[in-house]
Every structure is written in C-alpha cells, then in structure tokens.
Structure 1
Amino acid sequence: MRKRVNRPTLRLGALGATVLVVTAAVMPPLNVAEAQERYYQRRSILDFFLGRRYIDEYPAPPPGQNAAPRRQVVPKKKVAPKAVATPRPSAPVVPEEKAVQKLDNAQKILVVGDFLAGGLGVGLEAAFQDSPGIVIETHSNVSSGLVRDDYYNWPAQLTKFMDEAKPAMVVVMLGANDRQQMVTDVGKEKFRTDGWYAEYQRRVVAFGKQVTSRKIPLLWVGLPAFDSPSMTADAVQMNLLYRKQAESVGAEFVDIWDGFVSEGGDFIVTGSDINGQQVRLRTSDGINLTDAGRRKLAFYVEKPARRILGTQASPDLVRLDTGNGPGLDLPANTVGRTEPISLSDPNLDGGTELLGGRALPTGNGKSPRDLLVEQGEMAPAPTGRVDDYRITSAKAEPEVSTK
C-alpha cells in the first residue's frame, strides 16, 4: 500500500530544489580558500546562543594560495606576578686554619695499645695539633692485649717501637680485650681467678718497667665504663690493678672514669664534651668511642702530658735548642752572655746568705718618729715649706699721715 504524501510538502521540496539550482547557476564557483573562509566563518546555533566568535589568528593569504586554518583564540588568564624572594645574606667565609708545621726535631709521644688506644691517638693528634714541638705516633692493634701473647706479643713490639721512635713519653691503654682465659707456665687460668690476677699483675709490671727502665715518662690510661654491667664491673677491678702496679714502677695512672659515667656512676652514651656541650660519646655497641669521645679521652691525657713535657708542648715554641729565646736586635758585642740564674740561688742579690740570715744594721741616732713620740721634739721643717715658721716677715711700711 502506497504512502500518501501531502501536496504542500511536495511543493516546498520542489521550490527548495529550484532555489538551489538558481543559486548555483548565479554564484561563481568557489576555490579551496574561499571554501575554507566560509567554513570558518560559519556559525552554529550554539554560537548564536552562547555568543562565541571566531577571531582570525593568521592574516588572509594572497590570491592563489590556500588559506591557513583559523583557530579560536581564547584569551589567556591573568597570572599574578610571583613574589620575588629577598635574597638571604650569605654566610661569612671563614678562612681555613692552616696546620701548624711540626719541627724537624719535634719530640714524639708514643701511644700503644688496643682499639681504645687507637682512638686515643686520634684525639691526641687533635689536642697537640697547635704544638710544633710534639708529634703523636700511634701503634695499636684492635684485638690485642696482655693475655693473648701468642696472638700479639706486646713486650717484643714495644721494645721495637721505642727503639725506632725514641719517644719523649709513652702512653699505654690496654685491657678491653683481656677478659678471657690466660695460658701461663703452670697451665690455663680462667678469668677472675686468683691465679689469673696474679699472672696479669706480673705482666703489667713487666710491661711498665720496659718503659720506665729507659727513664721515659709513662702514662697508663685506665678503662672507661661499658654498656654491659659485667664489663663495667671488670673494668673497675682492672683499673685498681693498673693504678697500683703503674705507680709501683714509677708511672702515672690517668683516671678517665668520671668522664664517661653519670653522676650516679652509670654508663652514659651522651655526655658533655671538652667544651661542655652535650654530644654523643659512645657508639651504638656501647664499647667504642665517637670522635667527640676520643677527643674527651685525650683531654684527660693531655693535661699530665703537658705538665711533664713542659715547654716542649707549648704552641709558641720555635725550636728545640738552647737558643730558643726571643731575638733581640742589638748591635754585636754590646751585651755579654749571662748564664741563667735560679730564683732559689742565694747569690741572686749578690750576697751569700738568705734574707734574715744576719741582723739588720742599727743607727746610733734616733729617728724623727722616736724624737716626736718619746721627747715631743719635732724636726725643723725644710726651708720654704708652709710650716717653716723660720721665715721672717717683711717689715711693715710706715703709715702715711693724711693730716
């Protein structure tokens, strides 16, 4: 069955086709550029309602060339200017301190021992870095001690080191690895037994005599506290042994215990350094020392070392000889050389007796004070002084009569 079409609809369709044919016949043919121009200028119904416009971004091409496609130009958003950061003032440049040049004939401090002695040597190098007359020479073995002489024979090594270095002082720190069984001539001795302590005491004395027999000052440094309570208790007993035996051979015991414990005597990880600042002194294992701990350990040794070495450890030292005095720019042959004089020398004042050795000389007459107190006599005042009543007054001028 055919679908019926309204006649008005057919008439409108025919009319539209006629208009298109006439328009096509009248209008000239469009080239590609004109087609693109009309395409980009065509507006949809959305453009009509939203009010959008197309702005040509590129100029129109010359005749005979294809026109470039035109884009929609969207206005850029205004961005607030960024705040300019005020430059920070640069830190002042601190000049690096030059290392003090050591003297060719500088005296040596020989440091020997285990791993704690190795850290002590590092701290002493920092302590004496400004002293041109002192050089630190450290010989340490991490796992060594006086018990296992089969592993490291310290008596033989110490003699070798002293012969090579010819030190002005020896500093020893041993014992942290000696809490173990010892093999003696009799047999094996367990740690903490009476036989163990007797043999260990003998070895400490023999070790100290190797140094003091050469007339070399010896500083024996004690052990610090440890994180382990048993190690701390053993360190206390061993320090008592070190102190007694070191003093018996003429050495000096350096007690460092208070620097690494609290006020109650407990082990501490953090404490005050040599400047009083709170720093970490011990590592996480509770045995080794940090850099600050090593410097603090050396602080306890530095004081007796400077006292024993005297002017050799002075930072103002120029050379180590008898002519180390300040230079005087004086002409030659003007001042004779004089030997040093001791302050305790009786001849310092030109006499042969000490002060008070002889009676003071007495005068024959009496002093003005004695005359004034005893006899009430006052010595005449010097001529011209205000209390010199001997000055004669000027004669009075005769009065002129007005009559």
Structure 2
Amino acid sequence: MAPIPDKANPAKADGPLNIHVFGDSLGDGVWAGLYRKLPKADGYKVTKHSRVSTGLVRKDFYDWSKAVRQIVAVHRVDVAVVMIGTNDRQAIVENGRHALRSATWEKIYKARIDDLTQVLKDEGAQVFWVELPAMRSPRFGRDMQYFNSLFEERAAANGITYVRTWQRTLGDNGAYSAYGTDDRGRKRKMRTNDGIHFTMSGYIKLAGFVTDAMADVPGQQSDAQPAADVIPASVKTPVAPVSPALPEVTAPEIAAPAPVARPARSEIMPSQLDGQPEDVQRSERAGVSEVASGIAHALSELRGFVLPEAKPGRADDLRQPQGTSPSDPQPGQ
C-alpha cells in the first residue's frame, strides 16, 4: 500500500494514508463508514472535517473556501472525500441576491465547487466527490439531482473522481426504499425515517462505494498515483452477496466508533419548511423520536452486547422514577 505522494512536499509521503472527509451531515456518515472500513491498524487515518447544516451557499454561516485552506495548511491530505449539498436549496448573496437555479446562482455555485476542488488538488490530494443519494421526497430529490448534475459536470472538468450513489441507493423496483442489502449481503434498514439520512449499515455501504472507487478509478485524470495502489482489494465491497448468516462478533467490530449522533435530523433549515411536501415537514418535526430510533439502531449494531441486569437502587435501575429510592412509596402504593 503506497500513499499518494505529496507533489508540494515529497517528504510528507511517509506514514499512514491520510483520508480526509468534507461535507455536511451525510459527509459525517460517510466518515463513520470509512472509519470502520479502513482501520488505523491497516495503515489508514480517516479524519472528519464535515460540519452539520453547512453547504456551499451560506458563506456567512460556514465558509468552506476558507476552512479547506486552513485544513490543508496543517494536515497532510492524501485522499479527500467530499459529500455536500443537502442544505444548498437557498439563494446566494454575493454582489446581490441570486435565486436558486438562476444563471448567476449557478455560475457562483460552480465556481465554489471548483475552488474547493482546486485547493485539495494543489495539496496533491486525490479527490473523490460523492453523488447525493436517492431521496424519499420527490420534490427534494429533484433538487438533489440538480445539484448532482453540477457536481458531475465539475468533477469531469476538474479531473477528479465522481462516486455514483443515486441508482445504487434505490430499491429493487427502482424506487426509493428504506431497506436494502448491506455489504455482507443481509437485508437491513438502510435509511432513517426522514428519508434523507442513513443508518450505520447504510453509511458503511456508502463508504464501500467510495473504497470501490479508490480501488478502481478507471480513467482517473489527476496527477495523483493510481488509486489501485492506494486502497487494496481487501477493503472493496464484495460484488456477490455473501452468506446471510450472522458472522461471529469480533473485538474490532465492537470497538468501532459509535454511529453518527445525528442520523435522524434533516438538514433543511426551518425557514425552508414552508411549501415543502408534508412528508418532509413531518420528518423535520419528528426529531425527538428519530433520536430514540437512532439510539435503538445503534444498540442493535452492537451484536452480542447485553446490558447488565439493573440492580435496585443503582443508577442504571431505570425502573425507579428519578429522585426516588427503592424505599420510596411508588405510584399506586
């Protein structure tokens, strides 16, 4: 496994392969999946720079152009993975106010894509721009497909790898589905109830699309070393489903990082809810129940893990109302 050499500083080629993830909350999830698929013990260092609720439109909220320059100034970036766009259905304010999809809006947005990409390429990084996945809401999905058309166009223009996900996240019937086959061939719930984000099983599968692209990269146009020399075939997502039997739980799997803490919250700004489909609005208001669902799913991921039996009077005895002890009279007594 040979790290991509840094064109600006060849001495930085020593050490682990440094993979940096940029983007919004979907980027958060891809980082979590890559962290599990590319362990540090195997010579990888996966670093998260994604920020929830950010995008390329609102520089006043978070300026990715400035942030990425600060990051490459202090970090060696061998591989950059970018997944962003779910928060960008807004007007751009730059020398005036420009409506979404207008000619000026599109020109500015493309320039910001190019700027982010060029900073990473100048660092010597191999850039993988991840396509936004299929969405449950048709209206929201159409906007995400519009963003994908811009990302794909600029990826080709900038000579970077475009990682496709939309078709690969549809159900067998070609429509949106919350369920799918994980990277071990088992049927799992892959999407959270907001119809936008993924469960940990889903994020691991998304990460598999990225590692596949790193291993193959046919027609890669950047000056970086071919990706087949970067990611060994052993981390690729299997092409044929394996046996659905549950594997024996191993210590590294249990020790993997916890799922992203915010899988259930849509990144649509509150001001954007007006006029949105009812299913999107309902999913936004269901944040609290989604958090509980995410926690339950996280516990199910830790296969074989059993909580210790609660002892009366101990802090983990959830049968006792808060502020009471076993000797306190209980309701109805």
TM-score, structure 1 length as denominator?
0.50
Alpha-carbon contact 1:131-1:315 (below 8 Å) kept:
no
Equivalent residue for 2:55? 145
Of the candidates 101, 106, 116, which is equivalent to residue 197 of structure 1? 106
Measured after TM superposition, the shift of residue 199 of structure 1 is: 1.6
Equivalent residue for 1:297? 206
Alpha-carbon contact 1:147-1:200 (below 8 Å) kept:
yes
More displaced 10-residue stretch of structure 1: 301-310 or 201-210:
301-310
Alpha-carbon contact 1:180-1:191 (below 8 Å) kept:
yes
Counterpart secondary structure, 2:19: strand
1:206 matched to 2:81? The reply is no
1:175 matched to 2:85? The reply is yes
More displaced 10-residue stretch of structure 1: 237-246 or 209-218:
209-218
Equivalent residue for 2:127? 218
Alpha-carbon contact 2:65-2:112 (below 8 Å) kept:
no
Alpha-carbon contact 1:271-1:280 (below 8 Å) kept:
yes
Q: Which structure exhibits the higher relative contact order, with contacts defined as CA atoms closer than 8 Å and separated by 6 or more residues? A: 2
Measured after TM superposition, the shift of residue 233 of structure 1 is: 0.7
CA-to-aligned-CA distance 1:73-100 (integer Å, 9 cap, x gap): xxxxxxxxxxxxxxxxxxxxxxxxxxxx
Measured after TM superposition, the shift of residue 276 of structure 1 is: 2.2
CA distance in 2 between counterparts of 1:195 and 1:315 reads 43
Uncovered stretches (5+) of structure 1, i.e. residues with no partner: 1-103, 317-403
Given the superposition, is the C-alpha separation of residues 242 and 312 from structure 1 closer, same or farther in structure 2, using an over 3 Å criterion? closer
Moved over 3 A (4+): 306-316
Please give the residue correspondences for 1:254-269 in structure 2 after superposition, counting only pairs within 5 Å.
254-269=163-178
1:284 matched to 2:200? The reply is no
Please give the residue correspondences for 1:4-403 in structure 2 after superposition, counting only pairs within 5 Å.
105-129=15-39, 132-185=42-95, 187-307=96-216, 308-314=226-232
Uncovered stretches (5+) of structure 2, i.e. residues with no partner: 1-13, 217-225, 235-333
The aligned length equals 212
Measured after TM superposition, the shift of residue 160 of structure 1 is: 1.4
Measured after TM superposition, the shift of residue 312 of structure 1 is: 4.7
Measured after TM superposition, the shift of residue 272 of structure 1 is: 1.3
Alpha-carbon contact 1:225-1:267 (below 8 Å) kept:
yes
Identity %: 30
Counterpart secondary structure, 1:140: coil
Question: Amino acid of the residue matched to residue 129 of structure 1?
Answer: P
CA distance in 2 between counterparts of 1:170 and 1:179 reads 24
Counterpart secondary structure, 2:184: coil
Alpha-carbon contact 2:171-2:179 (below 8 Å) kept:
no
Question: Amino acid of the residue matched to residue 169 of structure 1?
Answer: V
Measured after TM superposition, the shift of residue 309 of structure 1 is: 4.2
Given the superposition, is the C-alpha separation of residues 266 and 282 from structure 1 closer, same or farther in structure 2, using an over 3 Å criterion? same
Measured after TM superposition, the shift of residue 315 of structure 1 is: 9.0
Alpha-carbon contact 1:114-1:141 (below 8 Å) kept:
yes
CA distance in 1 between counterparts of 2:83 and 2:28 reads 9
More displaced 10-residue stretch of structure 1: 296-305 or 122-131:
122-131
CA distance in 1 between counterparts of 2:228 and 2:137 reads 39
Question: Amino acid of the residue matched to residue 189 of structure 1?
Answer: H
Q: Which has the larger radius of gyration?
A: 1
Given the superposition, is the C-alpha separation of residues 296 and 315 from structure 1 closer, same or farther in structure 2, using an over 3 Å criterion? closer
Alpha-carbon contact 2:77-2:124 (below 8 Å) kept:
no
CA-to-aligned-CA distance 1:282-308 (integer Å, 9 cap, x gap): 111111110011001101001122344
Given the superposition, is the C-alpha separation of residues 204 and 177 from structure 1 closer, same or farther in structure 2, using an over 3 Å criterion? same
